[in-house]
């Protein structure tokens, strides 16, 4: 489900439903294809529904901070097919996978990483990345199955992206460095392009 998508996840925490169309279109036009709206802010499900309606073919929209099975169902009903969480909850992972959704739970230890994979997680959200740092990611990468997508989340900027890639990251969750509530679509577009450019530059440099 991920091979053809740019693995940069736009985390739109606090996105007003009224801004979803403009902000979403700015991201899609900049090359983003994965967008999550965390559920712990008002209007998240309405925003997900709006984004799913305008997403280009191949894009994946979903919910973040998905903490229970009922929330998985709510995201699915809104048109979302991505489930992201800050934690590793076996019931949430298994339910999302059973519904045919892409699930990226949060992990903070090697034990959680392997437990999430055992439950069917398709990617691992390394959170909070500020605690792990690239050296920690590199150590975790060395023991995980080689094909496991590993996405650090927290404090990633265009300037630090290459260091994380060199340590073994496969993608990134991008929060406040990309979007803050109330940001104009043009501002989000400029930040999105900076991340996309940094991704391509780092990939080219790494060969």
- Looking at the DSSP assignment, which residues form a beta bridge with residue 128? none
Measured between alpha carbons, how far is residue 169 from residues 78, 148, 156 in Å? 30, 10, 11
Are 78 and 48 spatial neighbours (Cβ–Cβ below 8 Å)? yes
Exposed/middle/buried for residue 3 (C-beta within 10 Å: 0-12, 13-18, 19+): exposed
Interior angle at CA 181, CA 159 and CA 92, nearest 5: 85
Q: What span, in angstroms and rounded, lies between the C-alpha atoms of 155 and 94?
A: 29
Q: What span, in angstroms and rounded, lies between the C-alpha atoms of 161 and 63?
A: 23
Q: Identify the three-state secondary structure at position 106.
A: strand
Strands 34-38 and 8-11: what pairing?
parallel
Give catalytic residues, as residue numbers. Answer: 36, 125
């Amino acid at each position: 489900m991920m091979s053809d998508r740019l693995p940069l996840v736009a985390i739109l925490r606090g996105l007003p439903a009224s801004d979803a169309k403009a902000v979403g279109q700015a991201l899609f036009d900049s090359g983003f294809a994965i967008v999550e709206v965390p559920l712990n802010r008002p209007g998240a499900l309405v925003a997900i529904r709006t984004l799913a309606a305008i997403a280009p073919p191949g894009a994946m929209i979903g919910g973040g901070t998905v903490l229970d099975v009922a929330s998985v169902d709510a995201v699915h009903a809104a048109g979302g097919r991505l489930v992201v969480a800050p934690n590793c909850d076996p019931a949430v992972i298994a339910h999302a996978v059973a519904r045919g959704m892409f699930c990226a739970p949060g992990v903070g230890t090697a034990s959680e990483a392997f437990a999430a994979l055992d439950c069917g997680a398709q990617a691992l959200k390394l959170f909070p990345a500020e605690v792990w740092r690239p050296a920690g990611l590199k150590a975790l990468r060395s023991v995980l199955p080689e094909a496991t997508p590993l996405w650090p989340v927290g404090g990633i900027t265009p300037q630090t992206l290459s260091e994380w890639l060199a340590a073994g990251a496969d993608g990134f969750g991008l929060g406040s460095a990309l979007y803050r509530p109330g940001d104009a679509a043009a501002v989000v577009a400029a930040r999105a392009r900076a991340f996309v450019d940094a991704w391509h530059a780092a990939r080219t440099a790494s060969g």
